[in-house]
Structures are given as structure tokens and as C-alpha cells.
Amino acid sequence: MNIYIDCGGWKGDTIEEYYNKNFLVIVFEPNSTYNCYYESFNIVPLNKAVWIYDGEIDFYIGTNYSGLGSTLFKDKITSNIKDVKPIKVPCIDFSKWILDNFNKDDRIILKMNIEGAEYPVLNKMIEDGSIKYINKLIISFHHHKITSITEDEHYDLLKKLKGIELVIRGD
């Protein structure tokens, strides 16, 4: 099966390429304000944050244009979240979800634009082997926007991802 998973779906700006092209399209977007953008695709987004455990987590909605750049990280230096009070959103153990729902024969294209959460999520996927289910990773990295994520951590993760088809997008 061909699967396109969009983590950090925002307004659905990347799903059109895969929708109706023999792909199952799954979107994770914790900000339900954007649900209306998926109606024309007949997709119901999963209003959960992609994370490393199942439960609830603080979510900071950016106060700039349409909540762009909302994050799980209070120390993000962009998106005007410094004085934002977080809301609680459901979160999902993404690597466990991959292992529970797919197999290595599936062709999975994973797009991540999750404003810093890519570091713990991908590291957990590497640890538990769920990263081996991913055929292509389309990603926006945010180490330069989150003060608690060092450049060394960024380059360490890049080394660990060696061997995966990687498309790095600007943000």
C-alpha cells in the first residue's frame, strides 16, 4: 500500500500531490482551526500532536499569521509564542502508531513540519526501528528556532538518518 503521512498538516499545502494518486493520505494537525482546509480532499485530519508518548501535551499556538509555527516547545524564538498560554492537546506516540498500523512492505512517504518535535520523534523512531518503515522523509528542521535543540543534536540526527531518502525543505 502507498501511504502519505503529513505531520504538521497546517492548511494541507502538501497533500494534493498524493491525494487521489493511489495513496492513503493521513494528516496529523493538532490545531483544529485548519480542519476546514481538508474538507475539499474528503480527509478528516487527526487532531493530535505527533510526539513520543500517548496522552496530552502543552501546545503553543503562534500569534503571527494564522497560528503559523505553532509548537510544543515554549523556547521557540519565532511565531510570537513567548507570552502565549499553552492549550492542552492530545498527542500520539508516533513510532508506536507506525509499528501498530503498517508493515515494512508498505511504501510510506512521511512529511514532517512539526516545529522542533522532529528531533525527539525521529530519535525514538530510530531507537525502536519504526524509521525502517519510512521510504522517504520530507522534512523541515527547526533546530535554529528552538533554543533547547543544539546544532550538535541536529547534525547527530542527520547522521543517524543516513540511508533514508531525505528531502529537506525550508521553513
| Residue 133 and residue 102 in contact, taking contact as beta carbons nearer than 8 Å | yes
Take residue 22 and report the three cell numbers written for it. Answer: 493511489
pLDDT score at 79: 75
The span from the CA of 110 to the CA of 102, in Å, is 13
User: Using one digit for the tens of pLDDT, what is the confidence trace for 7-37?
Assistant: 999 889 899 889 888 999 999 999 998 999 9
* Strand-pair category, 49-51 with 87-93: parallel
pLDDT score at 126: 97
Q: What is the pTM of this model?
A: 0.92
Helix (H, G, I), strand (E, B) or coil at 24: strand
pLDDT score at 65: 59
pLDDT score at 63: 75
User: Using one digit for the tens of pLDDT, what is the confidence trace for 118-159?
Assistant: 999 999 999 999 999 999 999 999 988 888 999 999 999 999
The span from the CA of 164 to the CA of 132, in Å, is 8
User: Domains of the chain, with CATH numbers?
Assistant: 2-168 (3.40.50)
Beta bridge partners of 89: 57
Take residue 14 and report the three cell numbers written for it. Answer: 502538501
The span from the CA of 61 to the CA of 137, in Å, is 25
User: Using one digit for the tens of pLDDT, what is the confidence trace for 48-85?
Assistant: 999 999 999 999 988 765 556 889 888 888 777 777 89
Residue ranges with strand state E in the chain: 2-7, 24-28, 49-51, 55-59, 87-93, 107-112, 134-139, 165-168
Strand-by-strand arrangement of the 87-93 sheet: 49-51, 87-93, 55-59
